Amino acid sequence: MDRATQVKLKFDRSRYHISSLSSEIGSYLAREPFAVHDAEDAQGDLVYRVTVREHPPIELSLLLGDAIHNARAALDYLARQLVEAGGGAPNRDTAFPVAASATAFADLCKKALKGALPAAITGVESLHPYLGGDDRFWKLHKLDIADKHHLLLTVGAAHASVNVSFGLPGGEEAIVLPLLPVNRAYPLQDGTEIFRVMKAARESATQGVGGAHSFSFDVAFGDGVVVSGEPVMPTINNLVGGIEGAVAPLYQFIQ
């Protein structure tokens, strides 16, 4: 098996887990695990609160951790192949360098890729895989560390959007606009307020300016990680897919 294929197989495995994760999240959301109730408060505002019927299952955390670990392992496989292709001998320091700053990266890169071709090292440096450079590398790296140390990367429910139906004068078909909340209200708990219609807006709605509201929900990363509160699927797809594409030019050095 050629060197590049070994790296690609690890990325393939990560995408396999991402696909499974997407399916499981879809199944979870399809069970309608949330209910929204509205009530008027003392000021005449209409307040929408959520009831959580089912929290995200633990299997989502397991699949997420597997996807992250395989993607990070693919980078380390690549580093090893770069060293071997350059005639070097991989050692305990050999790894794909990811650091918290440009300065820390420069020091780390010398040890992590010792023995690789100068052009290969330059190629890695051009990716800026550190915090403040291409942050995707840093986020993936930190998520992998969190998964190894905490056993599970927790996930939770989050408020994704408010879908507002606006009635139009003259009987024209209503327009439905999905509005992203300023506060995703993560993590959702019973009784969390997710939307409020002020009294003045309610009065306008009775005149045809605004209409019914519906809500959509998502699964987000848990507390204590670099992407806390961010939606799982777009975030993990961006990290793994973006990083895989970014490192693809390095395969020329391991042919």
Q: The tokens of 48 are what?
A: 């929408």
List, run by run, the mean pLDDT of 10-residue segments along the chain (255 residues).
90 98 95 89 86 90 94 97 96 97 96 97 98 98 85 72 58 52 69 82 55 78 87 95 98 93
Picking from 59, 6, 33, the residue whose alpha carbon sits closest to that of residue 218 is: 33
Cβ neighbour number for residue 173 with a 10 Å cutoff: 7
The predicted model scores a pTM of 0.85
> Which residues have CB under 8 Å from 10's CB, separation 6+?
70, 71, 73, 74, 77
Q: How confident is the model over 158-171, as pLDDT tens digits?
A: 777 776 655 545 55
Q: The tokens of 102 are what?
A: 């440009």
